[in-house]
């Protein structure tokens, strides 16, 4: 079966003093190929744990994670990651970063070059291939990170706060770029973000997670990602339907944060 299927996934960490932390409890969901899901929730609700399990960096203490019919048992090029920042190879040029995966797979120099050029055009960096990573702005570095991930042709793309370090204007532009890449590649994408607005804008599905134990508290199906491909992002984000869901989600998360503060 194609797509992602997660059933009964729990993750319990055991601290050196024997205390157990239930980072995820009985998480269940399916994603069809080409879907985009965003995940929101207060700090400590298990978002990064979930992503690390999907990446194959961590094995869950219970449950099953199946991608395209086979279990996820470790890291693999079928799953690509995009982190907040700092995950590029600083000692390589932009082109060498994007071409790293294809070159490792044994593609010819010519094929790698063609692939790199085409991805740099797609992310709007066609004139920057020879630059060093440190010469680029934060937004441009994240464009490189997206291109590098896509050049590996993964089935599933996992993003942990990919735009979290960017200024507001760059962030908006990058949200539109993520939607464009989603549309053009048909990849399945999971984005973790702290921004409610971003989560609503990027996710066809949105999960709001809650802590202690980490779990999916509420699920939404949203129309904004599809519309963001063709309509002006600002007008979508300022319309009543968007604002209504935004406020509902915000107050849910604030409620959880107050509860967490009360327990400290
Ligand atoms: N390696 C670890 N060992 C012990 N506890 C951990 C570890 N990683 C995360 N946790 C705990 O698991 C819970 C979920 O963490 P995490 O997945 O990082 O949440 P989030 O990304 O939503 O902030 C937190 O209570 C955190 O302290
Ligand atoms: Mg985290």
Same domain membership, residue 205 and residue 149: no
Q: Specify the pLDDT at position 39.
A: 98
Q: 127 lies in a domain?
A: yes
Residue 7 belongs to some domain of the structure: yes
Mark whether 176 and 117 lie in a shared domain: yes
157 and 225 assigned to the same domain: no
pLDDT on residue 261:
83
Q: What percent of the residues of the chain are helix, what percent strand, and what percent coil, each to the nearest 5?
A: 40, 25, 35
Mean pLDDT by 10 residues, the chain (264 residues): 95 95 97 98 95 97 97 95 89 96 95 97 96 95 96 96 93 96 96 96 98 96 97 97 98 91 76
How many domains does the chain contain in total?
Answer: 3
The preferred substitution site among 25, 40, 49, 264 for testing ligand 1, maximizing ligand atoms within 8 Å of CB, is: 49
Are 24 and 10 in contact by the 8 Å Cβ rule? The answer is yes
* 40 in any annotated domain: no
Cis link prior to 16 (omega < 30° from 0)?
no
Residue 25 placed within a domain: no
CA of 109 relative to ligand 2 center, distance in Å: 37
- pTM, two decimals, is 0.95
Specify the ligand 1 atom closest to the Cα of 209: 22
Q: How far, in Å, from the CA of 194 to the mean position of ligand 2?
A: 9
Structural domain boundaries, residue 68: 1-20+57-73
* The predicted structure's pLDDT at residue 264: 66
pLDDT in the model for residue 1 = 78
Strand residue runs (E) in 44-193: 62-67, 70-71, 79-82, 156-160, 188-192
For position 163, which CATH number holds? 3.40.50.300
Helices (H), 186-239: 196-202, 224-228, 233-237
In angstroms, what CA-CA distances link 110 with 116, 144, 220?
10, 20, 45
Helices then strands, each counted (H, E), the chain: 9, 10
Residues 64 and 94 in one domain: no
Q: Which residues contact 233 (CB under 8 A, 6 or more apart)?
A: 172, 175, 176, 201
């Amino acid at each position: 079966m194609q797509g992602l299927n997660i059933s009964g996934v729990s993750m319990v960490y055991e601290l050196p003093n024997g205390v157990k932390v239930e980072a995820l409890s009985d998480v269940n969901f399916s994603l069809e190929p080409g879907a985009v899901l965003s995940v929101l929730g207060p700090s400590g609700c298990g978002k990064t744990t979930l992503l690390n399990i999907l990446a194959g960096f961590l094995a869950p203490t219970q449950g099953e994670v199946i991608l395209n019919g086979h279990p996820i048992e470790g890291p693999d090029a079928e799953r690509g990651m995009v982190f907040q920042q700092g995950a590029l190879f600083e000692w390589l040029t932009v082109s060498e970063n994007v071409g790293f995966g294809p070159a490792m797979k044994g593609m010819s120099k010519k094929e790698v070059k063609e692939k790199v050029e085409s991805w740099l055009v797609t992310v709007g960096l066609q004139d920057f291939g020879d630059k060093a990573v440190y010469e680029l702005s934060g937004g441009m570095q994240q464009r490189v990170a997206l291109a590098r991930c896509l050049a590996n042709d993964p089935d599933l793309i996992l993003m942990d706060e990919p735009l979290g370090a960017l200024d507001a204007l760059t962030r908006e532009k990058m949200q539109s770029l993520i939607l464009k890449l989603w549309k053009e590649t048909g990849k399945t994408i999971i984005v973790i973000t702290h921004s409610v607005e971003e989560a609503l804008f990027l996710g066809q599905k949105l999960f709001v997670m809650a802590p202690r134990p980490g779990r999916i508290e509420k699920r939404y199906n949203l129309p904004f990602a599809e519309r963001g491909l063709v309509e002006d992002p600002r007008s979508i984000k300022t319309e009543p339907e968007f604002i209504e869901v935004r406020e509902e989600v915000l107050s849910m998360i604030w409620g959880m944060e107050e509860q967490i503060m009360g327990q400290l």
